[in-house]
Amino acid sequence: MKPLYLDYAATTPCAPEVADVITRCLTADGNFANPASRSHRFGWQAEQAVEQARRQVADMLGADPREIVWTSGATESNNLAIKGRVEYLRQQNPDAPLHIITSAIEHKAVLDTVAWLERWHQVSVTRLAPDADGLIHPEQVADALQSDTCLVSLMAVNNELGTMTDIPAIAALLKSHDAILHVDAAQAIGKMPVDVRAWDVDLLSVSAHKFYGPKGVGALYVRREPQIRIAAQMHGGGHERGMRSGTLATHQLAGMGEAARLVTEQVEQDQARIGALRDQLWQGLQALGEVYLNGHGTQRCANHLNVSFAGVDGEILLASLAKVAVSSGSACNSESVEPSYVLKAIGRSDDLAHAGLRMTLGRYTSSADVENALAEITRVVTLLRRQ
């Protein structure tokens, strides 16, 4: 059996159309120039490609192109949004108390950022606990709001569970508060329609390699009306309207734009097909018995399936599935393997958290791939349970 890729939440392959666009921006006979070189035709053409990509990403999000700030990916976007907002407010009033609301199951790019602000910049943080289904509810945000809350940062789709947060409801309750809303949408793009106007968000992070674009490039949506102000975290040239300096990578941005165009055209069709494959996989796994679904049964995106297998060692299970690329939320350190903090947060025991696997499907997954994965997982789990 050839190796199967069921780890689309970690990264996606570039779509062939995207790879073609990228290639045409690399060599001397292509569109290779610096978009900031405005004194010659080569630079103008590169700038045109970058601005076309900006329009394509904006169209995917229902935004104005002027609201798209290029970054190196969602991690930088999250840092720019959270640190940038806090630093801007500190510049206005250095002594004002600041409070951030986030959740205990955010990506580390958010959790580590707010922890840094908490430790070194006197920002207080409330980390909302998920329910047993991995959901964060708007009522929790309402209860946690304080007079000095400046930012709420919550992901649209959880990267381990695939559970979805009701972002529009949270945005609605913030209407009467000064706090702004940042959304990490890295796992949402390509898996569901994302509309920043309908969601009414202020800041939103995007990563190209999560939706069949290139690695190393992303964007931050920054609302213009009413205008959201953030302080730059990278300086040196004042690019991106002063919010993010650095020479723009024409090939990556053009590729991201093409990936965004494809998402805009295909997202609903893709998700209907992928959701059916995900259900096929889950139904087959249930035949093994003592297999537990992690996360809400329906309030989750079509791509994700996170399950725990009772009666098996998680490390051995993952190592034994060499022919099926899946992932575990467990984190390694020098002495031990810690269970997934997300699975622990929803109440899973250490054993079930260790034995949790995230299987994520994508645009190039077939029904035959699912059947082959089921056969291999069934073989491995059955063997391990006999030992």
- Domains of the chain (ranges, CATH numbers): 4-11+267-386 (3.90.1150.10), 16-262 (3.40.640.10)
Cα separations (Å) of 317 from 124, 155, 193, 246, 307?
40, 29, 35, 44, 12
Q: Is 14 a catalytic residue?
A: no
Can you give the pLDDT at residue 309? 97
Distance from the Cα of residue 58 to its chain's centroid: 17
User: What's the mean pLDDT in 333-344?
Assistant: 76
The band of 387, judged by pLDDT with boundaries at 50, 70 and 90, is confident
The answer, yes or no, to whether residue 335 has pLDDT greater than 80, is no
The answer, yes or no, to whether residue 334 has pLDDT greater than 50, is no
Cα separations (Å) of 318 from 105, 119, 180, 357, 358?
22, 35, 40, 8, 11
**Residue type at position 321:** L
**Residue type at position 32:** F
The answer, yes or no, to whether residue 135 has pLDDT greater than 90, is yes
User: What's the mean pLDDT in 202-206?
Assistant: 98
For residue 231, give the nearest of 92, 70, 36, 74 by alpha carbon: 92
Identify the residue with better confidence: 26 or 334. Answer: 26
Can you give the pLDDT at residue 336? 53
The answer, yes or no, to whether residue 49 has pLDDT greater than 50, is yes
Report which DSSP code applies to 387.
Answer: -
Q: How far apart are CA 123 and CA 140, in angstroms?
A: 20
The answer, yes or no, to whether residue 17 has pLDDT greater than 50, is yes
pTM: predicted TM-score of the whole model, two decimal places: 0.97
Can you give the pLDDT at residue 330? 57
Q: How far apart are CA 296 and CA 113, in angstroms?
A: 27
Tokens of 140: 């929790």
Can you give the pLDDT at residue 332? 47
Quick one: what percent of the chain has pLDDT higher than 70? 98
Strands 337-338 and 331-332: antiparallel
Can you give the pLDDT at residue 150? 98
b/e code 171-191 from CB counts within 10 Å (16+ = b) = bebbeebebbbbbbbbbbbbb
Mean residue pLDDT across the chain: 96
Identify the residue with better confidence: 348 or 2. Answer: 348
32, exposed or middle or buried, with CB in 10 Å at 0-12, 13-18, 19+? middle
Q: Are 312 and 289 in contact (CB under 8 A)?
A: no
Q: What are the backbone angles phi and psi of residue 307, rounded to the nearest 5°?
A: -135, 155
pLDDT digits (tens, 9 = 90+) for 99-112: 999 999 999 999 99
User: What's the mean pLDDT in 78-103?
Assistant: 98
Identify the residue with better confidence: 337 or 220. Answer: 220
User: What's the mean pLDDT in 148-154?
Assistant: 98
Q: How far apart are CA 2 and CA 19, in angstroms?
A: 24
Tokens of 295: 């996360």
Run of H or E including 358: strand 356-360
Can you give the pLDDT at residue 67? 98
Q: How far apart are CA 253 and CA 171, in angstroms?
A: 29
Candidates 14, 25, 301, 332; catalytic one = 332
Q: How far apart are CA 307 and CA 296, in angstroms?
A: 11
Helix 250-286 to helix 16-23 angle (10° resolution) is: 160
Strands 203-207 and 218-222: antiparallel
Alpha helices in the chain (DSSP H): 16-23, 41-61, 74-92, 108-120, 138-144, 167-173, 196-199, 250-286, 314-320, 341-345, 350-354, 367-386
- In this structure, what is the dihedral angle of CA atoms 109, 114, 119, 121, given to the nearest 10 degrees? 120
The band of 242, judged by pLDDT with boundaries at 50, 70 and 90, is very high
For residue 123, give the nearest of 171, 170, 75, 90 by alpha carbon: 90
pLDDT digits (tens, 9 = 90+) for 286-327: 999 999 999 999 999 999 999 999 999 888 999 999 999 999
Quick one: what percent of the chain has pLDDT higher than 90? 95
The answer, yes or no, to whether residue 158 has pLDDT greater than 60, is yes
Q: How far apart are CA 65 and CA 58, in angstroms?
A: 5
The band of 331, judged by pLDDT with boundaries at 50, 70 and 90, is low
